Structure 1
Amino acid sequence: MGVSLNALLLQGPDLANNLIGVLLRFRTEKVALQGDIESMFYQVKVPLKDRNLLRFLWWPNGDMNSEPEVYRMTVHIFGATSSPSVCNFALRQTAQNYGNQFEPQVAETIFEQYICRRLFSIDRIRRKGNIVSRWC
């Protein structure tokens, strides 16, 4: 029996916002909205030097008698012990590095985020040009 990848990975710090705080801020205005970062873990690249640790075998057409093909993940995988911490760090670092190039709401999103979900509220829904059409 081999060794599990998760047994060798460090969990890293818990960078997720406090869920109670996120939920309280979620209902400060009249209209509550929710969005998510699509495939969040797949948005963050694994460094080249670490990609061999994420190798997996694939048997074409499910034929277990044939020679398997070897692949390497280039992005973080769902279910890895380290993925939530790494991806939340990447999100925060990106907002810190580039947030000033966008509207002030970009920096605020960090406090509205819980893992890959964004929970926020607005005072009213307008047809054009509001935060709903820009973010969702």
Structure 2
Amino acid sequence: MTQGERVKELRKTLSLTLEKFGQRIGVGKSTISDIENGRRSLSEHMTKSICREFSVDYMWLTTGEGEMFVESDDDFFERIDRIMAGENETRKNMFKSLLYASDEDIEALARIIELFSNAKKD
């Protein structure tokens, strides 16, 4: 199944028209139609928008592997709590906050970690 076919399957599962689906991610119905019919590729930005807006699993949308929808934030929080049993709350909350971080936030954090790492080497 192609990415376009997965977009169509998702849209149908959500019972959305081309227009309503496109509105939710900021594109027109013709763009969605072109993606579904293989006349246009799904951009990385649009892929992330779909995943964010509809709680779709990135791997499913891009490769077809896994389940269509991701778990809720509560499920992720519970999993973090189980994995980090015995850790302090501050450490757990640092990981939980990354669920809400934007791409720009993650890039900024990566730069800070790199700066810190380089400073320790000197």
Identify whether the pair has TM-score above 0.5, normalized to the shorter chain. no
User: What TM-score does the superposition give when structure 1 sets the normalisation length?
Assistant: 0.29
More strand by share: 1
User: What TM-score does the superposition give when structure 2 sets the normalisation length?
Assistant: 0.31
* Higher relative contact order structure (alpha carbons within 8 Å, sequence separation ≥ 6): 1
